[in-house]
Structure 1
Amino acid sequence: MNGINNNVSTLRAWASGNWFIPTLSGVLILISFALEKLGGGSANPTIGPQWWLDAGAHATHAQGVFTLADVFMIAAAVVAGYQIVIKAFRALSVKIIGIDLLVSVAAIGALIIGNFWESAAVTFLFAIGHALEVATLNKTRSALSELVAVAPDWATVIRDGQQQDIPAGQVQMGEIVLVKNGAKVPVDGEVVSGTAAIDQATITGESIPVEKAVGDQVFAGTVSRGGFLQVEATGVGRDTTLARIIHRVEEAQDAKARTQAFMDRFSRWYTPAVMVLALATGLITGNVVLALTLLVIGCPGALVISIPVAIVAGIGRAARNGILIKGGEYLETSAKISAVALDKTGTLTEGQPVLTDIVTLDSDMNKTEVLRWAAMAEAGSEHPLARPILDSAREAGVSPDGIPGTVTPVPGKGIITDIDGQNVLIGNSALLEQYEVMNDGGAGKIATTLAFEGKTPMIIAIDDRVIGVIAVADQIREDAPEMIARLHRAGVKKVVMLTGDTQLVAESVGKATGIDEIHASLLPEDKLDVVQKLQAEGHTIAMVGDGVNDAPALATADIGVAMGAAGSAVAVETADIALMGDDLLKLPESIGLAKRTVSIMRQNIAIALITVALLLAGVFAGGVTMSVGMLVHEASVLVVIINAMRLLRNTNGATAAPKATAQTKKTVEQVNA
């Protein structure tokens, strides 16, 4: 009984699928051909009024009768065409003249003049084309399907001291979730116990599992490849990174590019123009078949679908590789990028500076005391360079208690704090000049020497006397030079560094990485000015930054890029391009993919227009019938879809430059040293 029910369910599913109608229509056409081959079936004089024949019925019906073969052919046209007519009527009711209307008019007209085979062929081929379009478009959306498929269904949690398996959506914030070897991580969370190798390919595009330990972040949908973790849930259900990615990709694939919006406007005028052309041709020539054939071959199906299928495939391919692109408009803009502006700290460098030097300039103080004052001043600072100072103070046993009374940031220069009634300044020479602190201990020269070594120096002063200079250094990323080379290979003409660091430090990093243009000692508004200047020069700018100090420049740039966005819900939702992993090489990859997508969009438009032009020429030259026109039309639709599906292939190395040379690596090592 179960087997019968399953078979019935399968048949019902197939009958409601995309292939049922073209299959049924095709069977009816084959029966018609078979009957005609056997002698036309049984004649029925009651079928077919004389006015039908007078309208120009086919010669085979000259005796005023329809054969059984004709009946099956008409049935095939009706089966394949009734949904097309319904769609055309619905579109017309909201004042939209679309492809369905062209096919409907042509098919009904062919029936009226007795061209039953042409009517059946046109509707049958159109139905097949629709089914193939749906199937191939689903294939281009496979990246989204894969993301949905990796969403975890179950989670193992600790409740009442016991392990319990519950639906992943029922995990509560703050609960402890167990992730065993081979299991999917069901929530976003922080590891509180254990170690494991986690495959994060679905989120960041990384092909190699990442080692996770206490304090590390994990994401829902990733998979444990070995080890055991206890994870405190910080994001569940729709609040997980995976859910945000799925939502973002879904929106992006439906968002229209500027070219697509133009093509939609074009088709709204083009389709009525084809109908007018067909009507005029019929009236002038008196050839109804020619007019109906023009309707069929003028269908802009390949033209309409050429853009969205490429966008869906391009955004899907990017999502598989850990790159989220906001939509078709941003994809098109990314293909035009000619200049890239990069922040130094956290982009070209590791973003984890360490304290390297402490120079004492006050005879009454030693290095530990200078470090203590620096740490007390930085205790209330949010600047990234405060962390290595505080860490070093903790290691030296002079970690400050609490925070200073007041903390006044001086953008681009440093900070001034109030500690026990004394003003403590820590920053560059410009800060000392602003507060008229005498620099008679050679602090400026020492800072310059440290900067030449690729370090960031900070002068420390208490009230009006300088007590010392400390320096921190950030490690240049090993793949930074290769990223710059790949950007150039991807067509980017200028790579610019924008940093608030000193000119000497910036030049040291720029020399090691191959940066084209360096702008140092910048305030946030200065970065904005540089971006605007590049735009005035005609560049399309992509800005890569942290979204805090770089916020004005990121907002002004043509494309704002966020790196390491997997850990930031805001970046996933707002960045024009969100690189989920902290991988520099994803930046040139995203630009290269955008250029390939736009190139395929242009190819598809050319294929569609050339096909219509050749068919038009063939119609007026003779030899192209309605059925042949529809066959070629549907073939062109499939060609543009298959062309777009090439984007689904992973070609990360397409724009890759050679690895950094030994000399470049040596330079990086020297700067880092």
Structure 2
Amino acid sequence: MKKLQIKIPLILPEVTDEKDQCVDKLIEQLQGKNGLEEVHVADETDNGVPQLCIHYNHELISIDQIQKLAKRAGASIIDKYGHRLIEVEGIRHTRHARKIEEALNRLDGVLQSSVSASGMIGLEFETVKIDEAEIFKSLRKEGLNIITTEVEVERYIRETARDDEQMGQTEKKAHSHEDGENHDHSHGGIFGKNTELIFSIICGVLLGIGFGLSYIEAVPSWVSLSLYITAYFFGGYFTAKEAIQTVAKGGFEIDFLMLVAAIGAAILGEWAEGALLLFLFSMGHALEHYAMNKARKSIAALAELAPKTALLKRNGKTEEVGIEELSIGDIIVVKPNSKISADGVVVSGTSSVNQAPITGESVPVDKEPVDNPDKDWSEEKDIKDENRAFSGTINGNNTLEIKVIKVAKDSTLSRLVKLVNEAQTQKSPTQHLTDKFEKYFVPAVLVLVGLLNFAFLVIDETFSESFYRAMAVLVAASPCALAIATPSAVLSGVARAAKNGVLIKGGRPLEDLGVLTALAFDKTGTLTEGKPKLTEVVALSDVKVEELLKIAVAVENLSDHPLAKAVVRDGKERLKDADIPEAKDLEAVLGKGVKASLGSNKVFIGNLDLFESLDDKKPSKETEEKVRSLESNGNTTMLIRQNDDYIGIIALMDTPRKEAKNTLKKLKKLGIKRMIMLTGDNQKVADAVAKEIGLTDAWGSLLPEEKVEAIKKLKEQESKVAMIGDGVNDAPAMANSTVGIAMGAAGSDVALETADIALMADKLETLPFAIGLSRKAKSIIKQNLWVSLGIVALLIPATVFGFANIGIAVLIHEGSTLVVVFNALRLLGYKRN
């Protein structure tokens, strides 16, 4: 396994010495991340700037991820390494993608490249050694057209607009590029994108007619021969084209081998068999392209969610503008049943919005205006779901006015499109394994084929018979199905997940998610609502519950403490329209409670510590016991005293999400053995929540760095552990887990960037779907590997011993490739439980 080493020049704010404890903390946070082998301060500096030396496994982590981790840990990174996502046209299949990857990795300065057959290239390079122009030049040498390096929504919109303008025209389209060149992106030939398929059908028809006429004695044999030769042209056109391009670059591909086998068949006078080989091979390729395009289109469909224009409100009038013209702070008008054009907050109107395109939520979300429309909401981190709007979501029956908080290229939809496209370039562990297997397998097959050509020297047969057998083995042993087995499943799985509001960043998290045995959850906002609710109102002495609540609401109305706001909100709800008296002279006692005047009475609300230090009027033992009993069940309690009398207790709690208990039951059914809650709350609160929703473990009173230690401990016990949180406070713990899963990522840029898997909606119930999909993907990958390896294992001996000829070999070979691809496409139809 190839290990890479990079040195990142870094600047830690207010740190002058690389031996500072902040550097130690940074190293500690990075050290446990999956894929990082060793992290230490380098011996030499870069112009006086300390350098962090990182040894990493590129199969598990990218430089881009390392730099993001370092930045989140507090380091300012000097831009020494480039990370680019490039979309190209001209990659014919998975094996071609691998050849391009190998060519890029040979370039001086390219640290790592990952090329997907879908046309996405992920590149990491040293900016001082190589620039984009050289990389583009290399890609063009490989016969590729560079579409763009801006894999964002606006580019898709421009493409769609251009396609609309040119609808019905057949001339070649060209796209303008940053470097000033134009590149032809037309496909195939005279029949456009379907040329390969149509050529294959023509080949099959000619072969069928020729074969049929060969049985009619009145028809001269040259007629069938002419049809077979013509079939050779149509069936072999693309095969020959690919073979010549590959051989010209010193490569040796399946297309060349198939062409040799077909020519060999013609030399031996087996024209019909050669034509059949070319027909089946070209048809298999055409159908493979069709099937892979289906998965690619599912991903491209994400970008098509974005409207091209917006109705901009300016000086009391509305005008239609392109979404790329929108600026932060602009007000856009969204008409009923139309798409929302930008990320923003609702400033006028109420409506229900279908957020399924972004978050996967099946039920529309009610939207209402923010309290302060004039505020700059673009820097606000905590925007309520009822106020927030996402680009690409669909408005209901009423008109909305929305204030733009993100420009088009930074919108949630644009980032989602970019991250999903990036996911296509991230290889899974199984794909790395099959790539390594092929490196040794293909040369071994070529040696075997070479030896079989000389079999006539050992056994009683002619050279032509030995040559024919060798060609049949060549066809049988070609690992086409193996090459596409994993990428097709990963592509389909990522596309299906994205449609349901789950962003899976590549093959590794897709595979890892399915083999998890333990899940660690953050408590606040993940398993619980994230806001305290009034749970108990206990009246003491002769005071009625309603009267007690009025006193509590009146006093807490003067405070802006989160607990006070919860008392006021829930208290008013319980009191309905009852008149609330007015309190005054609020005085806060830090960490203990408040005092205030209510009419002629003095009211005290707080914890037991408040009354311990107040005066000698202490609560009774029974009252204290009642308070401690409520606290042992996870409640935060407030004792209320009016003058000298203790009149009641109110209790609040961050209550579990409604769906939490049912979701955990589903996860248990899926075979998750341990479900652990990690929280900063005290152990009593943790135990109470765990008992209520059915967790196996609850670990309380944890600091953020202790959560990281908890994850490391769990990994030792369970090997595969996921951390589920909001992606902000839980980022270090997520980085150290096998799979980091962020909830509510649609509203958080940090969550989108940090997690391996992002649940776009703030919905815990999406988790079983994601795990179920991963299990299905893992199962399909295994099936594909068994099919592809099994067919090769059966066909090689069958052709070596003459039980199968070239025709049968190519039929089974191409059939297995199609079985593998269409099996992978089943993931696109995966249903959530």
Using structure 2 for the length normalisation, give the TM-score. 0.64
Q: Deviations over 1:32-54 (max 9, x none)?
A: 446645569778xxxxxxxxxxx
Give 1:459-478 correspondences, 5 Å limit. Answer: 472-478=652-658
Aligned to 2:259: 104
Measured at CA, do residues 239 and 92 of structure 1 come closer, stay the same or move farther in structure 2, by a change above 3 Å? same
Is residue 372 of structure 2 the alignment partner of residue 192 of structure 1?
no
How far 1:523 moved relative to its partner? 1.4
Aligned to 2:403: 232
Is residue 676 of structure 2 the alignment partner of residue 496 of structure 1?
yes
How far 1:551 moved relative to its partner? 2.9
Is residue 203 of structure 2 the alignment partner of residue 25 of structure 1?
yes
Measured at CA, do residues 572 and 428 of structure 1 come closer, stay the same or move farther in structure 2, by a change above 3 Å? farther
Distance 2:437 2:271 in 1: 32
How far 1:623 moved relative to its partner? 4.0
Deviates more, 1:560-569 or 1:447-456: 447-456
How far 1:543 moved relative to its partner? 0.7
* Counterpart selection for 1:482 from 662, 677, 696: 662
* Counterpart selection for 2:733 from 553, 558, 568: 553
Contact 2:475 2:809 in 1 (8 A): yes
Aligned to 1:160: 315
Measured at CA, do residues 91 and 415 of structure 1 come closer, stay the same or move farther in structure 2, by a change above 3 Å? farther
Give 1:100-179 correspondences, 5 Å limit. Answer: 100-179=255-334
Distance 1:431 1:254 in 2: 59
* Counterpart selection for 2:631 from 451, 459, 462: 451
How far 1:386 moved relative to its partner? 8.4
Contact 1:98 1:268 in 2 (8 A): no
How far 1:388 moved relative to its partner? 4.1
Q: Secondary structure at the match of 1:342?
A: strand
Measured at CA, do residues 180 and 38 of structure 1 come closer, stay the same or move farther in structure 2, by a change above 3 Å? same
Distance 1:641 1:76 in 2: 26
Contact 2:511 2:778 in 1 (8 A): yes
Give 1:163-312 correspondences, 5 Å limit. Answer: 163-215=318-370, 216-285=387-456, 286=463, 287-312=466-491
Aligned to 1:340: 519
Measured at CA, do residues 8 and 587 of structure 1 come closer, stay the same or move farther in structure 2, by a change above 3 Å? closer
Amino acid at match of 2:197: W
Contact 2:727 2:755 in 1 (8 A): no
Is residue 191 of structure 2 the alignment partner of residue 14 of structure 1?
yes
Q: Secondary structure at the match of 1:578?
A: strand
Higher helix share: 1
Amino acid at match of 2:752: V
* Counterpart selection for 2:717 from 516, 537, 547: 537
Amino acid at match of 1:293: A
Distance 1:42 1:313 in 2: 51
Distance 2:265 2:170 in 1: 37
Measured at CA, do residues 273 and 77 of structure 1 come closer, stay the same or move farther in structure 2, by a change above 3 Å? farther
Aligned to 2:57: none
Aligned to 1:60: none
Distance 1:578 1:38 in 2: 65
Give 1:396-475 correspondences, 5 Å limit. Answer: 448-457=628-637, 472-475=652-655
Distance 1:264 1:386 in 2: 60
Report percent identity of matched pairs: 38
Q: Deviations over 1:95-124 (max 9, x none)?
A: 554322332332233233333222222222
Q: Deviations over 1:214-234 (max 9, x none)?
A: 131111111123111111111
Deviates more, 1:184-193 or 1:269-278: 269-278
Distance 2:732 2:248 in 1: 47
Unaligned runs of 5+ in 2: 1-166, 173-187, 371-386, 457-462, 540-547, 573-579, 594-604, 641-647
Amino acid at match of 1:257: S
Measured at CA, do residues 372 and 209 of structure 1 come closer, stay the same or move farther in structure 2, by a change above 3 Å? closer
Measured at CA, do residues 400 and 106 of structure 1 come closer, stay the same or move farther in structure 2, by a change above 3 Å? farther
Distance 1:639 1:74 in 2: 30
Is residue 748 of structure 2 the alignment partner of residue 563 of structure 1?
no
How far 1:175 moved relative to its partner? 1.4
Q: Secondary structure at the match of 1:243?
A: helix
Measured at CA, do residues 376 and 111 of structure 1 come closer, stay the same or move farther in structure 2, by a change above 3 Å? farther
Aligned to 1:669: none
How far 1:318 moved relative to its partner? 0.8
How far 1:356 moved relative to its partner? 6.2
Aligned to 1:331: 510
Contact 1:378 1:390 in 2 (8 A): no
Contact 2:335 2:399 in 1 (8 A): yes
Q: Deviations over 1:566-604 (max 9, x none)?
A: 111222232111001121111121111111100110011
Contact 1:196 1:226 in 2 (8 A): yes
Distance 1:400 1:106 in 2: 95
Distance 1:89 1:575 in 2: 44
Distance 2:282 2:800 in 1: 26
How far 1:482 moved relative to its partner? 0.8
Contact 1:451 1:502 in 2 (8 A): no
Q: Secondary structure at the match of 2:519?
A: strand
Amino acid at match of 1:327: G
Contact 1:531 1:553 in 2 (8 A): yes
Measured at CA, do residues 558 and 40 of structure 1 come closer, stay the same or move farther in structure 2, by a change above 3 Å? farther
Distance 1:568 1:180 in 2: 26
Distance 1:143 1:353 in 2: 41
How far 1:471 moved relative to its partner? 5.3
How far 1:257 moved relative to its partner? 0.5
Q: Secondary structure at the match of 1:150?
A: coil
Contact 1:102 1:275 in 2 (8 A): no
Is residue 522 of structure 2 the alignment partner of residue 350 of structure 1?
no
Aligned to 1:600: 780
Measured at CA, do residues 249 and 7 of structure 1 come closer, stay the same or move farther in structure 2, by a change above 3 Å? closer
Contact 1:375 1:393 in 2 (8 A): no
Q: Secondary structure at the match of 2:405?
A: strand
Is residue 486 of structure 2 the alignment partner of residue 319 of structure 1?
no
Distance 1:82 1:396 in 2: 89
Distance 1:598 1:511 in 2: 33
Q: Secondary structure at the match of 1:141?
A: helix
Amino acid at match of 1:267: E
Contact 1:358 1:371 in 2 (8 A): no
Contact 2:722 2:737 in 1 (8 A): yes
Is residue 257 of structure 2 the alignment partner of residue 70 of structure 1?
no
Measured at CA, do residues 374 and 559 of structure 1 come closer, stay the same or move farther in structure 2, by a change above 3 Å? farther
Distance 1:21 1:272 in 2: 32
Measured at CA, do residues 268 and 74 of structure 1 come closer, stay the same or move farther in structure 2, by a change above 3 Å? farther
Distance 1:82 1:14 in 2: 14
Number of equivalent positions: 592
Aligned to 2:120: none
Measured at CA, do residues 159 and 645 of structure 1 come closer, stay the same or move farther in structure 2, by a change above 3 Å? same
Give 1:641-656 correspondences, 5 Å limit. Answer: 641-653=821-833
Deviates more, 1:277-286 or 1:511-520: 277-286
How far 1:28 moved relative to its partner? 3.7
